[in-house]
Amino acid sequence: MKQHRLAAAVALVGLVLAGCDQQASSPELKTPAQKASYGIGLNMGKSLAQEGMEDLDSKAVALGIEDAVSKKEQRIKDEELVEAFTSLQKRAEERLAKASEEAASAGKKFLEENAKKPGVVTTASGLQYEVIKKADGPQPKPTDVVTVHYEGKLTDGKVFDSSVERGSPIDLPVSGVIPGWVEGLQLMHVGEKYKLFIPAELAYGAQSPSPLIPANSVLVFDLELIAIKDPAQLQGAEPEAPAEEPAK
């Protein structure tokens, strides 16, 4: 995380916090400007929380904004500010590293226990799967595009993405998704339903694509292989799913 990015994020959150401090009650959220202002604060707050920024002083932020807007002399020298930003960033990185280590440890323990359950198969890569519904359809190749329904969860059962909830299956390239899906899809026959238990190293690892998926998370997918697309129908057509991931 760059210093200027942190400073900008702090400033934007500070604007929202400063506005709240100036009012005895919560501000109204009726006009487009008010709603957009709230959205800026909400998005920045989520971003800062994801990056481990949990110890900001809202009053100090508001004071800095007030001094800048009023063109007052700054109360802290630039050298001290640089040192403070560096310290804050270091603490945030330490928190994220700790959370990442804890997630990796919890994921390892989960997979070890899950592997003992009846019906769960562990492959050489570490991928675990359970056949929920068997079928005799064809199996996809790495070059195929398939139609699937899925629901992705964390190990605590929290859903982070679901085509089932959206009510529409998606088309995706077998070789264009996370490694756990690439392997799992090629094990399946059209018409089958699997439950995939994907280790972090076969999913997103330490680089989470979403605040809903903590770094180093084991992912659990309920996956249904509906069809393998006819190559003739795909000529000139773009796959519906993202190129790098099955879920966001």
Q: Whole-angstrom Cα distance, residue 45 to residue 196? A: 33
Name the CA radius of gyration of the chain, rounded. 23
Distance in angstroms (rounded) separating the CA atoms of residues 162 and 247: 8
120 burial class (0-12, 13-18, 19+ CB within 10 angstroms)? middle
Q: Tell me, what DSSP letter sits at residue 202?
A: G
Return d(Cα 113, Cα 57) in angstroms, integer: 42
Active site residues: 150, 160-161, 178, 204, 221
Reference 184, options 238, 130, 106; nearest CA is 130
